[in-house]
Structure formats: C-alpha cells, structure tokens
Structure 1
Amino acid sequence: MTDFAPSVLLIYTGGTIGMIENPETGALESFNFDHLLNFVPELKRFNYHINTYSFDPPIDSSDMEPYHWARLARIVERNYEQYDGFVILHGTDTMAYTASALSFMLENLSKPVVLTGSQLPMGMLRTDGKENLITAIEIAAAKHPDGTAMVPEVCIYFERDLMRGNRTTKINAEKFNAFKSYNYPCLGHSAIDIKIKPERIRRPDASRPLKAHYLFDTNVVVLTLFPGIQESIITSVFNIKGLKAVVMKTFGSGNAPQKPWFIKLIKEAAERNIIIINITQCQSGSVEMERYETGRQLLEAGVISGYDSTPECALTKLMFLLGHDLPPEEVRRLMNTNLAGEITLE
C-alpha cells in the first residue's frame, strides 16, 4: 500500500452472514462482497484499505473440508505482505474447526486472522452480522505503537468476545452468543471500547517468517463413550480400514469403563499404532488420567492425554500431524506439546 492506513483482506467463504433477502421471492441469497460497502456503509468511516475475496460459489459451513482450509491458508500466505490483517467470514457450524486447523497451518503467524459470522443474515434488520464484521475488521487492523499487530493469532470474534480460535467451540444454535472458550480466558471484549488483554496473547518469534502448511490426513474418528456401550461397537471402530487415530471422549477427568474387554481392545489398537487421544466430555476442565484408577488403566494401555483440548482442536490437530507423515511416536509427542496455545500443560 502507498500510505500508512491499515489494510485488511476480507475473505468470504459462505455462511449466514453473507445472505440477504430477495425482495421478490423472500429467499435468502448470497450477495456480492465486491459491493460490501453498499451493504455496510459504516465501513466507509474507517480509514482502512479493505479488499475482498469471495469463494465462488460460497459454501455452507457444513460442507467445509480440509481442502478449503488449505485454500484459506494459501490466500493468507499469498497476500501476507500486502495486508496488516485478515478477516474470514464463515458459517458458524464449523467455524471452530476451521479456526483450530488454521492455528496449526499458519506457523509463526504475526498478523491477525479473525474469523467471524452471524446468526442472522446481514440483510435482516436485527442482524448481528454488522457488529461482528465491523469489530472483527477493527481488531484485524489494530496495532501497537511500534507497528506490531495487537492480536497476532487465529481467533474468533463473536458477540463482543474475542477468543483464541483453537480454544473455541460453538455452544448455541439460536442465541447471538454462539461461541465460548471454556478453558482459556477471552483475548478481549468489545463494549464502548475494544479491550484487548495483551497478557493473554501469544507472541510470535519475530526472527521467523510465516510458514504455511497444507497437509491433512482424515483417517481419524471421534468415539464418545456412554454407559452401556457395547464391545461390538468399540471393536468396529478400532477396526475401521485405514484408521490412524481416535479422539476418545471419556467421562469426567478422563475416566472410562474398567471392563477387561474394553482395556484389551485399547491395548490392541495402541499396539497397532492407532493413536488414541483422551479428552473429556465435560465442556470445561482437563483430562487427568493419573487421578483415578480408571484413568491410569487407560494410560497404561497406551492412551495419551488430550489435556483441556476442545474436540474440534483435538481432531484437527491430529489430522494436521498425521498429514505430515510423522511416525506415531512423534505424533503422540506433539499431541502432548502446546504448539499454538491450544492446551494447558501446567
């Protein structure tokens, strides 16, 4: 850019935020984001350079795939030197998965990548989309006096809360406060002013450039335990052809049935180098397998802790590590390593 005004690239993937009502049919249709300022004239009051890039055609977030994550990472990488920050408009259903994936794909990110969306379309009178969009752009452009970004992370901004992307999960299908970060405090809040909490922000290594990654392996499954789960179900899951890893959602602080057949199947799967990650079904809290006998049995059988990871993060992190063709022991080590602020090890 030729002047000192902040520059932001707005990337529209699809989702509710980009819909307007057709006045003739009443149907919701995607609008042309090249004409964004016509729909959100408030943006003209920013002294920013705002350019747009739209997926063509836009996709519903329930159709989001690792291919699309790679596409987003490439857009950021190719435009990294031209812009001060990036805002990704995304459907809410899989936004937490995309934010988690991008946090690993964009290694040593030093600029904001802010995902946002809305529960009501932009074209509706009571939409939450305008406030989410305007504030997300302002966060993406925010800098310290020394010129460094205030929030050099992949994050989600929604309904006045700024959250680390890989700590966030969707909690509500109807209310405007659709997302929550249970195990890590918000990075900031917006009210009369936008208040960023600098002590909660990850700091990149200024000596290292951005390194983008694109590879994923989707031979993974999420297994949710429940009282009365049958041996045949566990057997079927662990014998899925090509399976490489399991995210196992256990009870409480990482507990599971002590039935001999269950422990036997876990051990056999681990011996076949199937990686099993233990995360809790509870919305908040962490797995502590050393705490109770049931957890210790899993540990001895070869299960590794997912600590306080969200399901979205545990799954995308596994897919990311497996995609790089690492040995199983290295994947296990890195799953127990805090790569992008995604888990609490202390």
Structure 2
Amino acid sequence: MSKMQPNILLIYTGGTIGMVKDFKTGALRAFNFKNLLKSIPELNLLDCKIESVSFETPIDSSNMNPDYWVKIAKIIEINYDNFDGFVVLHGSDTMSYTASALSFMLENLAKPIVFTGSQLPIGDLRTDAKENLITSIQVASLQYRNKPVIKEVCLYFEYKLYRANRTTKINAEHFEAFSSPNYPDLAESGVHLKVNKNQLFSPNLRKKLTVHKKLNNNVALIKLFPGISETLLESIFNTPNLEGVILETYGSGNCTTEAWFIDLLKTNIIKGIHIINVTQCPSGSVIMGHYETSSQLKKIGVISGKDITTEAAISKLMYLLANNVSKDVFKIVYETPLRGEMT
C-alpha cells in the first residue's frame, strides 16, 4: 500500500502570524498566503500538500466572536473529506476561546485541527511564526497506516502541542505564550517531534462528523472579588435573556457565605439560570463541598466546572445552551467531559 501525501488546509483568520512589515513605513499589512511557499521555502521539505484559504477580511483576534467560530467550522465542514488535517492561523489573544469552542462544535472529529499563531510577524528577523507554522503543518500531517495520529482540536505554540480546550494565554510578550495547566502536553518539538500517545483524545470513529453551528451567547462571566456588591451582581443577573453564568470563585471553588449572595444565586437557579463554578486560580480544580465556603453552593445546585479553563467553560456553556439540553440533565451533561476538556 503506497503512502499518499497528506493534504493540509491552512485557514487564515487574521492575527500577527499573517502580517508582514513594510520595511519602508514600518506598518504591518496582511500577507498574501498564495506566496507562502516563496516566503517559507522550508515548507517544501514537508511531506504533504498544502492549500490555503483566507477570511476575505482578516480580523484581529480581539474582534473574534461566535459568528466567526461558525465561519471557521463551516470552512472545515466543506473541506473535511478532501483534507487530512487543518491548520488554523489565528491571533493569540483569543485563540484559546476559539479553539475551545471549535472542539465542542466539531463532534466526532477524526482529524487534526491545529491552531497556531505568533508573537512576531512572519517577516521579522526573530519571528516565532516560521517554527510555529512549520511544526503545526507537520503535526497536522502526522499519519500512522494512512490515518491521522491526532484526532482532536489542538494548539501549537513555541515547541509544545496542547489540547486546545485545556489552554490559556499566559503571556503577552514571551514566545511561550500559552500553557495547559491541568493537562499534559500532547507533543513536544525538539530534535524530534515526540508525541505523548497516551494523552491523545480517542473519538468514536464509527460516528460521522457532526458540525454544530448554533451557539447561545446569552451568558455572563463574573469574577468574584472581596467586596463585590449585591447591586452589581443583581444587575448582571437581571440582564434580559440571560441563561447561564460562569462564576470565577476563589481557590477550590469557594465564595462568600453571606446570606444575600447565596440567596441571589439560589433565586436565579430556581428561575432556570445555570451557574457554573470555575476557579480563578491558573491551575487546579473546583471541589465543591471541600470547604464550608462551597458546601452551600453544592446544596443550591451550582454546577461544578471541576478543572475546566474559563475559556472552555464559556464556550461549553454557549454550545450546550444552543443544543437545548433540558434543564433536568443540564448539570449532569455539563459536569461530564465531552471532548477531554475536564478530568
């Protein structure tokens, strides 16, 4: 059986990686991806065929929103059967949000989708763009017996491949911009590309890809702080059409035990608003009932986000709300890992 060269589709949404500097003016402008092989001849050394598609108007990732997530998902859906892997080029600021959302939207995904970007433009002397791009394409084209090795949405940055829905951006100026605090790396790029096979996600290969194109963003994210007021929280909970709230609590899921606070949460849970407890700590897990300061939350029906990141928590909430999961089972479904996003 002869080995076919994998086909890789490069999807450019925007971001620093796709910029080139006009050396006369110093201004950044979007790069024409048709000239990619000319600019990065090393790509010719990769054992794969590369095609590219770009947003008509590339966007800064700060302008990213669920409509664009759907746009990326549709590009993947249309091209799914013709390509063996996908590399999504995206600005690093909201990359963890987009990549986490895509992991939920693409059910039964059996091919690699690798998100990457860079801290410096592709044409800069000291750019990290080339390495990130070359290795991401290499990761997307990894095959074993003509089948993709990686079958999930992941994120590659500065020599490490992570499960996308476990990542968070931790640094605005270092090349090592991302971290996966609660889950091991999927691969590490050194002299060799070392894949940690035991950590990879195993989808059900008998099921066909289902692309979920509806997301419900009637959600709020509240970070608790000492002295947060009742009026502020009431005004958030009184937002018209609000359906779900991610509550960033202290430590392993703790919060104030003041009566007004617990009553406010209880009233809104009874009203049908889903409240998810995630930790403010960069790593670790919510263990409700571990301390007295979280046992009341457990009692009133607050959902445990366990060790999920805030980025994955919010996109999972939008995804489940849009899929009309009934109120009775919502808590059970949310607390169940769907794409390896929680332990």
Cα deviations by residue, 1:51-102 (Å, 9 ceiling, x for unpaired): 0000011011011111111111111111111111000000000000011001
Residue 63 of structure 2 is matched in structure 1 by 63
Aligned mates of 2:4, 2:149 — CA distance in 1: 16
Residue 315 of structure 2 is matched in structure 1 by 316
Aligned mates of 1:72, 1:250 — CA distance in 2: 32
* Pairing 1:289–2:304 present: no
Residue 83 of structure 2 is matched in structure 1 by 83
**Contact 2:3/2:146 (CA < 8 Å) preserved in 1?**
no
- Displacement of 1:327 in angstroms is 2.2
Q: 1:1-346 maps to which residues of 2 (within 5 A)?
A: 4-144=4-144, 146-344=145-343
Aligned mates of 1:179, 1:297 — CA distance in 2: 34
Change (3 A) 1:255 1:148: same
- Displacement of 1:3 in angstroms is 7.8
Cα deviations by residue, 1:283-335 (Å, 9 ceiling, x for unpaired): 11000012111111011122110000000000000001111223223332211
**Contact 2:230/2:260 (CA < 8 Å) preserved in 1?**
yes
Aligned mates of 1:229, 1:101 — CA distance in 2: 29
Question: 3-state SS of the aligned residue for 1:314?
Answer: helix
Aligned mates of 2:186, 2:222 — CA distance in 1: 31
**Contact 2:4/2:146 (CA < 8 Å) preserved in 1?**
no
Cα deviations by residue, 1:200-254 (Å, 9 ceiling, x for unpaired): 0011212111111110010000011111111111111111111100000001100
Question: 3-state SS of the aligned residue for 2:233?
Answer: helix
The residue identity in structure 2 corresponding to 1:93 is D
- Displacement of 1:47 in angstroms is 2.9
Cα deviations by residue, 1:98-150 (Å, 9 ceiling, x for unpaired): 11001011111111000000000001010000000000000000011x22211
Question: 3-state SS of the aligned residue for 1:79?
Answer: helix
Question: 3-state SS of the aligned residue for 1:253?
Answer: coil
Aligned mates of 1:330, 1:65 — CA distance in 2: 28
- Displacement of 1:5 in angstroms is 1.0
Aligned mates of 2:107, 2:51 — CA distance in 1: 24
Divergent runs of 4+, >6 A: none
Question: 3-state SS of the aligned residue for 1:326?
Answer: coil
Aligned mates of 1:206, 1:225 — CA distance in 2: 41
**Contact 1:266/1:302 (CA < 8 Å) preserved in 2?**
no
Aligned mates of 2:58, 2:64 — CA distance in 1: 11
**Contact 1:122/1:130 (CA < 8 Å) preserved in 2?**
yes
Aligned mates of 1:217, 1:10 — CA distance in 2: 28
Structure 1's unaligned 5+ residue stretches are none
Structure 2's unaligned 5+ residue stretches are none
User: TM-score, length-normalised on structure 2?
Assistant: 0.98
The residue identity in structure 1 corresponding to 2:211 is A
Question: 3-state SS of the aligned residue for 1:81?
Answer: helix
Question: 3-state SS of the aligned residue for 2:81?
Answer: coil
Question: 3-state SS of the aligned residue for 2:174?
Answer: coil
Number of matched pairs: 342
Aligned mates of 2:46, 2:272 — CA distance in 1: 53
Cα deviations by residue, 1:12-70 (Å, 9 ceiling, x for unpaired): 00000000011332100001111111111110112311000000110110111111111
Aligned mates of 1:20, 1:329 — CA distance in 2: 52
Between 172-181 and 332-341, the greater mean CA deviation after superposition: 332-341
- State the identity as a percent: 51
Aligned mates of 2:113, 2:341 — CA distance in 1: 16
